[in-house]
Amino acid sequence: MKNLQIRRKIATGSAVDAFLADSSAGLVLVQVSHPEVVADPELYGRFLDTTRVTSTQHRHPALLSPELTTCEPDGRFVMVTGPVSGRTAADHLRDRGALDSPEAIRWGVRICDALEFLHAHGVVHGHLAPHNLFLDGDPARPEVRLLDTALLLFRGTKSVPRGQILVAPEYLSPERCAGRRATPACDVYGMGVLLHELLTKEPPFSGRGVSETRALQLHAPLPPLRPGLEEWAPVLNRCLAKRAADRFASLSELRETLRTLKPLETPAIEVHLGDPEPRQAGTLQAGDVLGRYRIESLIGEGGMGHVFSAKHLSIDRKVAIKVLRPELSRVDSQVQRFMAEAQAVNMVKHPHIIDIEDLVREGERVFFVMELLSGKSLKVMAKESPIELTRVVRLMRQAAQALSAAHGVGVIHRDIKPDNLVVERDAEGDEQLKVLDFGVARIRGNDLKAAYKTQVGQVVGTPLWMAPEQVMGHQVDARADVYSLCMVMYVLITRRFPFAGADLSQVVMQRLSRDATPVGEVSFLGEKLPWQIQRLLEMGLSRELARRPVSMEWVATALEGIEMRMEEEPTVDQPIRSWWNRWRS
């Protein structure tokens, strides 16, 4: 290497190290074999064979393959590739940050092309790390070329001893971590690791040391992706499947999947989205007096009114006040509907349904007073982090009990969604769910029938969470709430919707023509799902009313039984849970 001036080391492998160096031809890449390769005759022979194949057959525009191979006096091989720009994807991530989805797709397609070419020649790459991607041309939209590090990991019955494999464990597939040889399926897994790092700046599995990282590769689920990357979850989960048979069958299949990947206008989990900017709340402002209460702040809004926090004028007590929108307060039918919500809640009187204390009509001001909750909605909670399976079951059981009580007095909620389920803690510190917003409820009974009558064909509620018959504007019964609650439970467990679609309308309409995608056998956090949960969600999300659970009481009883069994049988082992908590923090 007397004519080369080494600049810096960029990669360490099990058989070679890679350096950037200056030469008379410009900046080049230099790979130098390890001494132990020379010391093992069989390994050395296979090294020579691989070098010969690399030098003569590996010519692909997306590959950086050696153009010159020399042998040093001590027997080490030196392979020179050039010219190169000197920028790697690792440099790009450090200087410019994570890639956006379109650029990650473009890079991924090109790398798949290169790997497919290698596999056609019987070579597995085995080290798909950002420092092995070289970038040429426009820094904003570079051409990507993969360093052909096929020499870093050998195939065959004999390989570099496990203790000497120097590829970082973050980039090894589960089978390589378990000591088995590399196969093309390992590169599919490696693509999942690489794409995750390009999108997030971090490999998906990285522990406190080699042993912990290997254990994570073998057992840990994919950590949650940041908001805006939900469309990548199915691709990455399949690439990073622990069993090779569950991954993409080839790089060409992965490449074609990447080409069809598009960001969803309706993300896979709506619960992560920030709340929309609140609309103007009429003339009410902080400090205004409404009845016996002084307004403090706007805390939310719904289709019919705004919700304020307020304080009683005479006693030290805070409440929430829901005020009908001014433009609706002049329409008698809307006033009746608004007042019927308060009556509906008061008909139930259940600990898991928000309490309404007073209903007032003062001129054009119509409002009701209710308890002020200090907790968070399931939408906010799921935005902050995935919710463990045992908590999901416990909270859904509480919601089902509340809705069963409502159904018992003839009240169908019709707008069950994460926004309308709030969780707070009681005096003992236990989580208590409250069902809110009966503003679009349907009430059966003579007294309220006229006030709350819905015309045939009128769709009320939130379409993303609706039962098929509700989407179509048909008459609904308690089974519509069963469907919506199961939809919420499904999304909390998987962090995806059971129906695919490029936009909101497609996601909503899919449920009219096909059954929900099965929930699967594990949660987003890798927790094993009891078969009872799988069956409950299959039934609850059925298009056919006759196949759904007969009542919300049945759902509540089923969830109670599941909860009791899960308390006896933990679903996630402690090491993985510990890693998850560290990752989340």
Q: Report cis status (omega within 30 of 0) of the bond before 83.
A: yes
Measure the CA–CA gap between 33 and 42, rounded to whole angstroms. 15
| Order of strands across the sheet that contains 356-362 | 289-290, 293-301, 305-312, 318-324, 365-370, 356-362
Distance, in Å, from the CA atom of 130 to the CA atom of 155, rounded to the nearest integer, reads: 22
Residues 504, 253: Cα–Cα separation, whole Å: 27
For residues 551, 556, 559, 563, the Cα torsion angle rounded to the nearest 10 degrees is -170
Angle between helices 184-200 and 89-96 (to 10 degrees): 20
Cα(297)–Cα(299) distance, rounded to whole angstroms?
6
Residue 415 appears among annotated catalytic residues: yes
Q: Where are the beta strands (DSSP E) in 342-417?
A: 356-362, 365-370, 376-377, 411-412
CB 166 within 8 A of CB 159: no
Q: At what angle do helices 552-568 and 531-540 cross, to 10 degrees?
A: 160
Burial bucket for residue 145 (CB in 10 Å: 0-12, 13-18, 19+): buried
Which residues have a Cβ under 8 Å from the Cβ of 544 and sit 6 or more positions away? none
Q: Identify whether the C-beta of residue 370 lies closer than 8 Å to the C-beta of residue 354.
A: yes
What secondary structure, in 3-state letters, does 405-458 show? HHHHCCEECCCCCHHHEEEEECCCCCEEEEECCCCCCEECCHHHHCCCCCCCCC
**Rounded distance, CA 94 to CA 96, Å?**
6
CA distance 372 to 266: 31
Q: Which of 495, 488, 479, 493 is nearest to 542 (CA)?
A: 479
**393 neighbors 402 (Cβ within 8 angstroms):** no
Sign of CA dihedral 569, 572, 575, 580: negative
Alpha carbon distance 475, 367 (integer Å): 29
Distance between CA 340 and CA 261 in Å, rounded? 46
What is the spatial distance between Cα 453 and Cα 337, in angstroms, rounded to a whole number?
9
CA gap 152, 165 in Å, rounded: 9
The H or E element spanning position 584 is helix 574-584
Determine which one of 91, 148, 187, 415 is catalytic. Answer: 415
* Residues with catalytic function: 415
